[in-house]
Amino acid sequence: MGAGHAHMLYRHGSSPVHALPPHTKLTAVLAFVVVVVATPRTAVWAFALYAALLGTVAYAARIPPGLLLRRLAVEVPFVAFALLLPFVARGERTDVLGLPLSVDGLWGTWNVLAKGTLGVAASVLLAATTELRGLLLGLQRLGLPPLLVQIASFMIRYGDVVTDEMRRMRIARESRGFEARGVRHWGVLARSAGALFIRSYERGERVHLAMVSRGYEGTVPLVDEVTASRAQWSYALALPLSALVVCLLGWTL
């Protein structure tokens, strides 16, 4: 509960990227990722340019490169899958270090690695420069159904509470000498999960009653409307537009 009001991925700062309205940043990241995915995989230089663009954004947001690289580790499971592709794909073969590898599969690996890494890096930059509440406001501004935004905001607000409850149950188990070592102990853990569900659901009922007693009628009043000036839009869209130029060059060259 003492975690403060920012999520752990947010990095507080006062850079121009932090100051942009959240919905412009969301639009920019989405458009950028779409452009990256639409780029032909044979245009290797284009991906280097995309990486340079993201590097510029990270520099402007004063995000240290070490932090960015550490958070890229989330994509390790896909890397394992991508590395399998050259061995199973069809098509003509080529010899790399004595192994017959599929040319198409090698391109596939490169494709997934390059596009996946760029997508993850863009998401990491977004999460590092935008507060949670801002993200939700931005999503609502971009036309996500209000009910979905409300569910997401409840999930994020109570995520720490529920996780904390789970941690306390773990401490309670361990202080009674329990240590999960194998399949035999699944019953105990599953009972904890069941108790966690009941506690979460009942908390939801209590939260609803508390909201009703404060006049909730199905919609949360929007107190602060986020707006963006033309300058802010153009500043945010500079990233996907320059990426689009690179993409078009990649298709024509």
Partner 1 sequence: MHVPDGFIDAPVSAAAGAVAAGAVAVSLRGARRELGERAAPLAGLVAAFVFAAQMLNFPVAAGTSGHLLGGALATILVGPYTGVLCVTVVLLVQGLLFADGGLTALGVNITNMAVVTTVVAYAVCRGLVRVLPRTRRSVTVSAFAAALLSVPAAAAAFTCFYAVGGTTDVPVGQVLTAMVGVHVLIGVGEAAITALTVGAVLAVRPDLVYGARDLTAPLRLCVGGEPADAPPSPTLDLARAGGAPTPALTPRSPRKVLLAGLAISLLLAGVVSFYASAAPDGLEKAAADEGIEAGAGEHGAAGSPLADYGVRGITDGRLSGGLAGVIGVGLTVAAGTGVLCTVRIVRTVRGRRAGEPSPAATGSPAPRTPRDV
Interacting positions 185-214 with partner 1 (CB under 8 A): 185-187, 189-198, 200-201, 203-205, 207-208, 211-212
| Cα gap 82→108, rounded to integer Å | 8
Through-space distance between the first and last CA atoms of the chain, rounded to whole angstroms: 55
**C-beta of 127: minimal distance to partner 1 in Å?**
5
Q: Binding pattern to partner 1, positions 118-147, x when CB under 8 A?
A: xxx-xxx-xx----x--x---------x-x
Shorter beta-carbon distance to partner 1: residue 59 or 87? 87
Nearer to partner 1, 2 or 218 (CB): 218
| Cβ nearer to partner 1, comparing 115 with 228 | 115
Q: What is the DSSP string of 167-181?
A: HHHHHHHHHTT----
CB of 84 to partner 1, least distance (A): 9
Q: What's the CA gap between 29 and 57, in Å, rounded?
A: 11
Give the interface segment with partner 1, choosing from 49-57, 163-171, 224-232, 240-248 (CB under 8 A).
163-171
In the complex, the smallest distance separating the C-beta of residue 141 from partner 1, rounded to whole angstroms, is: 14
Interface of this chain with partner 1, residues 219 to 238, rule: CB under 8 A: 220
Dist. CA 118–CA 204, nearest whole Å: 38
* Segment near partner 1 (CB under 8 A); pick from 52-60, 111-119, 222-230, 237-245: 111-119
Binding map of partner 1 across residues 58-97, x = CB under 8 A, - = no contact = -------------x--xx--x------x--xxxx------
Q: How far is the CB of 205 from partner 1 (least distance, A)?
A: 7
Rounded Cα gap, residues 88 and 50, in angstroms? 29
Q: Which two tokens stand for residue 4?
A: 């403060």
Number of helical (H) and strand (E) elements in the chain, helices listed first? 10, 2
23-62 positions binding partner 1, by CB under 8 A: 29-30, 33-34, 36-38, 41
What whole-number distance in Å separates Cα of residue 200 and Cα of residue 161? 9
Alpha-carbon gap, residue 157 to 69, rounded angstroms: 28
Measure the CA angle with vertex 138, ends 215 and 123; round to 5°.
Answer: 135
Query: Tokens at residue 98, please?
Result: 């004595």
Our finding on whether 150 is near partner 1 (CB under 8 A) is yes
Min dist. Cβ of residue 172 to partner 1 (A): 14
Nearer to partner 1, 43 or 229 (CB): 43
CB of 61 to partner 1, least distance (A): 15
The closest of 59, 110, 40 to 82, measured between CA atoms, is 110
212: Cα separation from own chain's centroid: 33
